[in-house]
Amino acid sequence: STDGGRNLSLDSIPMGLPMSDPTAWATAMNNLGMAPMGMTGQPLLPDFDPALGMMTGIPPINPMMPGLGIVPPPIPPDMPAVKEIIHCKSCTLFPPNPHLPPPATRERPPGCKTVFVGGLPENGTEQIIMEVFEQCGEVIAIRKSKKNFCHIRFAEEFMVDKALYLSGYRIRLGSSTDKKDTGRLHVDFAQARDDLYEWECKQRMLAREERHRRRLAEERFRPPSPPPVVHYSDHECSVVAEKLKDDTKFSEAIQTLLTWIERGEVNRRTANNFYSMIQSANSHIRRLVNEKAAHEKEMEEAKEKFKLALSGILVQFEQIVAVYHSASKQKAWDHFTKAQRKNISVWCKQAEEIRNIHNDELMGIRREEEMEMSDEEIEDPSEMKETEESALVSQVEALKEENDSLRWQLDAYRNEVELLKQEQGKATRDEDTTKEQQMKLLQQALQGMQKHLLKVQEEYKKREAELEKVKEDKLKIETLLENLKEQESSTSRVCACSQEKECPVEKTLSNSPVRSEREVLLVGIISTFLHVHPFGASIEYICSYLQRLDSKICTAEVEVLMTRLQNTFRQELSGVGASLEKRWKFCGFDGLKMT
């Protein structure tokens, strides 16, 4: 094919065909909406669900759907698969022998949308190939070779499986039996660079979507960043000092104070301000201790309330269990039915389990209280001294930890500076690579625009040729119209003359008893009929004969016509008594003498 828009970039043509792959055959049958089975009728996938497709995103296809004449109806599992004859406009496809194994195919390339079609007739044209394979789906391009094979690229992957269904069919062009008009089709997967490129683009797009989805999930679970802390100034320092005195804004102000100290804002000029803020922060310790004591008191009261409520609940549970036990005794148990006894026993077990759980919980609370009391009794004044010494030791350790933390901060700052230098070097490299990629993309876009311009120019030339043809046709039509007008004028003159001639004839006919050509024919037929019947015939007999010729004739019309022609027909009475009847006779010979 010389059409540039249909050229395909194919890597290779399948010369050697391996043995058939049953999974590929099953995929093809599945995409046709049928249960996957071999040519012998045995199902290839026993757990096949026809509502599900093996290829995602492809709806199941109904074989009886209009436009899919190549797809046979579903085959029952107890019958072998039989392909049918396919009739096209300019060719006919005959199915292969059903007892032969399915045609061999190569391994399916990823994202395959192109098929290799071999065994074409020598006289086969690209139009015939399009007519046969466009039933499988939208054909994007056809690349035909001079050696009786071609490559066809479809719009979607599932259309390839439909095309593979035609493998093994014998094709015949029209009704010819010449070898150049016949062939056996062999359809197989073909490896095309365009298909592989589209598949890789699709995989990259899916990978990008997955990365974006993971990033969104990570950001959703990431804790929110703290609000930014303002820089130190005298005004901000006075604002923070006022906030430190307020109990509601203390947490926000103490965070700002901590950040300023860590940043190194403390110097000789600001030392007094920071000391006053630290002193106001220290004044909150007593408040916090009092709040903690109040909360502990509330917790103790809540524990007492919980213990009292739990003990009351346990008492009620004991009463319910006692009721169940008393109902299980012999005096009351015999009067209940089997179903009632079963329900009572089940309820009793459930109540005992819940009672035991609550009892264990109450005992655990009491044990904790006893352990706390024993710990308080063991404490001595000697331990108070030990606690003071341990507090001093802890202060020394805290100072050491602060010293170590400052050293670690210095190391961290050094590492950050080195990382910033490395990141700047990487950024320059990334910019170079991005520029190269942009140049490549621009080159590809320019090539695409050039191809598009060439196509537009070809279409413009074709349309100019079509316009010239239309103009020529218009001139021809105008000349024909002029000739027709002249012919109409001549025929109108002839008709006028003929009408003038026919006028006296019509006048004579209007005066005669016979008013139309139809009545003339009726008179002739009736005369012939009565001439054969010399003794006459009734009006019903005459009309029955005439109605065989024309069913629309009625007796009243015939009788009126015959009464008008008195010199041609005469009515007589014949018979005696009950057999008396009226008969019409032909008297044209006598009437001729009289007229």
- Range of weakest confidence among 140-154, 398-412, 535-549: 398-412
Look at residues 383, 261, 364, 274 and name the one whose alpha carbon lies nearest to residue 310.
364
- Residue predicted with more confidence, 582 or 503: 582
Lowest-pLDDT range, 228-242, 261-275, 361-375, 474-488? Answer: 361-375
What's the pLDDT tens digit per position in 240-251? Answer: 999 888 888 888
Q: How far apart are CA 59 and CA 72, in angstroms?
A: 18
Phi, psi of 198 (to 5 degrees): -65, -40
The CATH architecture of the domain made up of 517-592 is Orthogonal Bundle (1.10)
What CATH code is assigned to 86-201? Answer: 3.30.70.330
How much is the pLDDT for 566?
83
Question: Distance (Å, rounded) from C-alpha 520 to C-alpha 514?
Answer: 6
Token output for 329: 């005794």
Phi and psi at 331, nearest 5°, equal -65, -45
Domain residues of the chain, as ranges? 86-201, 234-306, 310-369, 517-592
Please state which of the ranges 91-100, 406-415, 543-552 shows the lowest mean pLDDT.
406-415
Residues 319-348 as b/e (b if ≥16 CB within 10 A, e otherwise) read eebeebeebeeeeeeeeeeeeeeeebeeeb
Contact yes or no for 8/114 (Cβ under 8 A): yes
Q: Return d(Cα 128, Cα 150) in angstroms, integer.
A: 12
Q: pLDDT by residue (tens digit) across 466-491?
A: 888 888 888 889 888 888 888 877 77
Q: Report the range of poorest mean pLDDT among 46-60, 315-329, 398-412, 437-451.
A: 46-60
pLDDT band of residue 32 (cuts 50, 70, 90) is very low
Q: What is the pLDDT of residues 46-84, one digit of tens each?
A: 444 444 343 344 444 444 344 444 444 444 444 445 788
Q: What ranges make up the beta strands (E) of 198-284? A: none
Look at residues 444, 23, 330, 9 and name the one whose alpha carbon lies nearest to residue 191: 9
Most confident of 17-21, 103-107, 573-577: 103-107
Question: Which of 4-8, 268-272, 333-337 shows the lowest mean pLDDT across its residues?
Answer: 4-8
Q: Tell me, what's the pLDDT at 69?
A: 43
pLDDT at residue 149 is higher than 50: yes
pLDDT for 202 equals 93
- Please tell me the distance from the alpha carbon of residue 275 to that of residue 277, in angstroms, as a whole number: 5
pLDDT at position 499, please? 59
Task: In whole angstroms, give the CA distance from residue 385 to residue 314.
Answer: 46
Q: Quick one: what percent of the chain has pLDDT higher than 90? A: 18
Using CA atoms, how far residue 298 sits from 168, 294, 302, 304, in Å, is 89, 6, 6, 10
Average pLDDT, the chain: 79
Contact by Cβ (8 Å): 156, 137: yes
Which residues make beta-bridge pairs with 92? 87, 172
Cα 165 to its chain centre, rounded Å, is 24
String of DSSP letters for 97-138? -TTSPPPP--PPPTT--EEEEE---TT--HHHHHHHHGGGS-
**40 band by pLDDT with thresholds 50, 70 and 90:** very low
Exposure string (b/e) for 540-556, b if CB count within 10 Å is 16 or more?
eebbeebeeeeeebeee
Alpha carbons 307 and 301: distance in angstroms, whole number: 10
pLDDT of residue 384: 58
pLDDT of residue 401: 77
Q: What separation in angstroms does the CA of 178 have from each of 88, 95, 124, 181, 183?
A: 18, 19, 12, 5, 10
